[in-house]
Amino acid sequence: MPNHDIFTDKESALIAIGAAVAAGCQPCTAYLVKAARIAGACERGVSLAVETALAVRENATRVMDEWAGQCQGGRPQLDAGFRAEKRPIAELAAVAAAAAVNSVPDMRAHLDAARESGATPEQIRAAIAIAGKVKTTAEREFAAAMGYQPASPEREVAAEEPKSCGCR
């Protein structure tokens, strides 16, 4: 891991555990937990890094739930009949969501469910591609918000309603 001038190997591994857990990367998390232990991190330190990352991820989910509710303008009740009718698109949305949060277990479950609901391989690939575009845009917007690079052209006029989020 880089940043030897700023952090010790143990500190870098603990910070990386936080990022890996929040990103949903299971292989990264497993590797980094071992790396942290090799670098001298105690179990409480590893546990604190995991706990902290989960708290950030849970907060981000809660905040996004509130934001999506504001964007949506209200949430109608979804009955079982509607859910059953819309299952194919819901499963494709779940595939895209799993890709966006790097969740292999969710991806496996929703890939199977999407196939069972009639989604084609082409539709599944397209849903994953949409997730990739959304992730790229989200990373760019995050970087711009942190002052690392300019926002996408669609976001530069703050007073106007954006024509596109830049994902499509």
Domains in the chain, please, with CATH? Answer: 1-75 (1.20.1290.10), 78-168 (no CATH)
Task: Give the model confidence (pLDDT) of 93-151 as tens digits.
Answer: 999 999 999 999 999 999 999 999 999 999 999 999 999 999 999 999 989 889 886 55
Which pair of tokens denotes residue 79? 């009955």
C-beta of residue 120 within 8 angstroms of C-beta of residue 92: no
Question: Left (φ > 0), alpha (ψ -120 to 50) or beta: where does 76 sit?
Answer: beta
| pLDDT at residue number 5 | 81
What is the predicted pLDDT for the residue at 54? 97
| 88, 117 contact by CB (below 8 A) | yes
What values do phi and psi take at 84, rounded to 5? -65, -40
pLDDT in tens, 11-64: 999 999 999 999 999 999 999 999 999 999 999 999 999 999 999 999 999 999
Cα 104 to Cα 107: distance, rounded to the nearest angstrom: 5
Q: How far apart are CA 24 and CA 100, in angstroms?
A: 9
